[in-house]
Structure 1
């Protein structure tokens, strides 16, 4: 019976990893491909990258989803069913829209998709922590979650491009993904094993928590309109067709909204958020670690921000080629890189791993510069025979560009290694009392580069071209490497403290 219960829990973790990974590409690279084939310009595609902003702010509403329970549905399974049902409905609605003819409406629904996806991630992480109550299950559970997550990204980020190429229809692909999420919602509600969460982050008033969250939203909107108003008074037109002016508005709105949101949250005493943030910033070097987290994969984020658009619009690769090379093969290589990075970290200290993998990430960006200079077909091609895997098929043999495969291989392997080192840093920085909120905060900051470089990348590429852009991605990776080198002593100290804490836990266990 114990074995069956453990198998049920681990199967649930695998399934939820898949459900969590499926929407990510649909707000990122798959969406980029749809925009590219629908005729949307590169700068606008870059601005569409901002729809992923909810992933960087999920820690703000994580305490509310941890505290409140949907009526009759259960605390974890209820939120899972609601977010997954919302994702299904949103994807089905998006399948009936055109990004080129209805850009504003399409972007609004895409933002909602990202919000629901980020919210699902919060609950999936909490469910996994509650379900795997035996420490012996943690390692296997984490591996199953990552495997399910990456498998879903192959479906929505790789196979989806092949389907879109064969069907000549991205709306049909999004409708299918919506159906899959609808099935996931039903499975979450009726088949997932129930879990019992033992404690809440703080014993504060629920009314005050909601009021604090509402005040924080008031701060966000106040900052947004304040920035727009000030720039308008200075003579800038928010409706200007100049992409640099559009970018100025975006950056100013974000810069004003964040501090005002924090200030309003403090005024309204949003206790769960304030206590968890205060706990983190009480650590020595907290601000420096946050800066390192943002900078560490910034060059990687720049290089990858417009990869799909670059390959389809810039080099005229077909969607099927991009799906097979960049998404299916690329994601498996990322998994391989993560395994290699994990194995190396058994021998390397956190500092050495971060420094070595950061340098490798920087060097890998030269690959995109090389393919931008040499172009498609420079190194010949590799034949891919026809295949039929029931859910996806290739009717005729296709050729894959060998230079593209080489660049994708190096970039994904080094990126996977860098991700492992970064995740190890995030885990070491978490306070055990606020693990969920701290990890949501730190992982959100780790996603800042991936989300917010996109509009800058789009405007920059339109101005200087692909070759100069990828050289710039190498230069922008340097601060992360330098920051890692400068923080050698704090990183070594953090690693030693984390190891000592783990040893103490095992003795008490």
Structure 2
């Protein structure tokens, strides 16, 4: 059994913390903020599409495999260099969101939230690649994933709770500034760490060079995001998409496109020689190798990963608008997102990490799906109850426990599907694809809930999660990275 040093576990606790802090700020907290400002439920659903960005991280993950951040890379190495740049991007994006917290310009709100999602995802890509290199077995991944998710989910819950409570006591600007300061804390910790043994330059020159390069990269990424967003907004307006549009059929059709495209490409990929990826462009080689190695079984794999966490994503999208519509105060929601969710989430992660390391992985996946699916039905029960603090806290605890358990097992499963040659890029693709369909549907969640009600929506979320168990007999659940 692989035993990792405690300092490695502590490091991944820290990395999980730095990635988890911003997640709620462009997701649940932002949706609650929009709801409090009177934005309609369909438009709030559209904002859930910002969380689609992490599903496309495979598009820029190869950059992190091949290049480093100028300055930072020379002293701290490629992985830590990208993590430091990402933390600067996270902090800058949250400060920008703080000073546009009145949501008087929804396109501007969407721009800064998108940048926050981008840099948060970049941090995760760098950390995931490093994690898989450090521990290529399920026995090693179990405790490492648990440590990472403890940090991630505790920071995510603490950020959600802290932001809501600060907003209740002050305003949304103060809430985002507080979390921005907290998100920056890991940067000086990493900057104070020992450099690479063969570092060609010293700490101070590397820090100055890295900060200058980071400023240029952050400005360039903001400009690209603004231009892209303006183009998409014009296209949506020209297509007649708005708050009154029924986009659910369109979204369902789009969800099928990746499977159709891959099914058409697989015959050609399977005819390639075993070492074809080694002669290809580094951008596509990781994905060709993944599809070639898994063969037609990759369609089952992608279908499974697409539905396993779907219920969690859908529930997260409308849980806070539900609570707001049910009349719960910001203080009550803050408590639910705080100590209640934190303790439940950490317990779920611990159980999931233990199950992934000790049980057959297929059995661990089965247990995770059942627990998470049943937790989704807690929201259905909540819609039938009069507003009461204990109802809110019970539902929040069950949801976070199920998310934590299923999430820990799922991360281990995905980590064992990648090749040791391309761990970061392939993990980025699988983990991103896992949330592509759920987040596409999340964007239509407002329209869906208008049609079938909150209770029907959350029943759908729980049912989809439970349906994931139908794929388990057809999956490879080995214990070693191939």
Question: What are the residue-to-residue correspondences of 1:380-419 with 2, within 5 Å?
Answer: 401-419=389-407
Q: Which residue of 2 aligns with 1:388?
A: none
Q: Which residue of 1 aligns with 2:20?
A: 21
Name the SS of the counterpart of 2:414 in structure 1. Answer: helix
Question: What are the residue-to-residue correspondences of 1:372-387 with 2, within 5 Å?
Answer: 372-377=383-388
State the Cα distance separating 1:195 from its structure 2 match: 4.3
Instruction: Provide closer, same or farther for how the CA distance between residues 146 and 288 of structure 1 changes in structure 2, counting only shifts above 3 A.
Output: same
Instruction: Provide closer, same or farther for how the CA distance between residues 44 and 258 of structure 1 changes in structure 2, counting only shifts above 3 A.
Output: farther
State the Cα distance separating 1:119 from its structure 2 match: 0.9
What does the per-residue CA deviation read over 1:166-220, in whole Å, with 9 as the maximum and x for residues that have no partner?
22x11111122223334433433x21333479xxxxxxxxxxxxxxxxxxx9xxx
Question: What are the residue-to-residue correspondences of 1:73-472 with 2, within 5 Å?
Answer: 73-74=72-73, 75-98=78-101, 100-128=103-131, 141-167=144-170, 169-188=171-190, 190-195=191-196, 228=235, 236-238=239-241, 240-245=242-247, 271-282=281-292, 283-284=294-295, 285-312=297-324, 314-345=325-356, 348-377=359-388, 401-472=389-460
Instruction: Provide closer, same or farther for how the CA distance between residues 372 and 79 of structure 1 changes in structure 2, counting only shifts above 3 A.
Output: same
User: Structure 2 length normalisation: TM-score?
Assistant: 0.78
State the Cα distance separating 1:18 from its structure 2 match: 1.4
What does the per-residue CA deviation read over 1:397-423, in whole Å, with 9 as the maximum and x for residues that have no partner?
xxxx22222222333223322223322
What does the per-residue CA deviation read over 1:439-486, in whole Å, with 9 as the maximum and x for residues that have no partner?
1111112223552232211111123321222233234335323333xx
State the Cα distance separating 1:362 from its structure 2 match: 2.5
Which of the two has higher C-alpha Rg? 1
Instruction: Provide closer, same or farther for how the CA distance between residues 137 and 412 of structure 1 changes in structure 2, counting only shifts above 3 A.
Output: closer
Q: Does 1:480 align with 2:468?
A: yes
Q: Which residue of 1 aligns with 2:212?
A: none
Instruction: Decide whether the 8 Å contact of 1:53 with 1:451 is kept in 2.
Output: yes
Q: After the TM superposition, which of the residue ranges 64-73 and 179-188 deviates more from structure 2? A: 179-188
Task: Flag structure 2 segments of 5+ consecutive residues without an equivalent.
Answer: 199-223, 270-278
RMSD between superposed Cα atoms in Å? 3.8
Instruction: Decide whether the 8 Å contact of 1:365 with 1:470 is kept in 2.
Output: yes
Instruction: Provide closer, same or farther for how the CA distance between residues 241 and 350 of structure 1 changes in structure 2, counting only shifts above 3 A.
Output: closer
Q: State the distance in 1 between where 2:328 and 2:80 align.
A: 42
State the Cα distance separating 1:155 from its structure 2 match: 2.3
Task: Flag structure 1 segments of 5+ consecutive residues without an equivalent.
Answer: 1-5, 198-216, 378-400
Tell me the number of residue pairs that the alignment of Structure 1 and Structure 2 aligns: 432
Instruction: Decide whether the 8 Å contact of 1:281 with 1:287 is kept in 2.
Output: no
Q: State the distance in 2 between where 1:98 and 1:343 align.
A: 41
What does the per-residue CA deviation read over 1:288-328, in whole Å, with 9 as the maximum and x for residues that have no partner?
1111000112233222321111112x211112211212443
Instruction: Decide whether the 8 Å contact of 1:305 with 1:457 is kept in 2.
Output: yes
Instruction: Decide whether the 8 Å contact of 1:17 with 1:146 is kept in 2.
Output: yes
Q: After the TM superposition, which of the residue ranges 55-64 and 455-464 deviates more from structure 2? A: 455-464
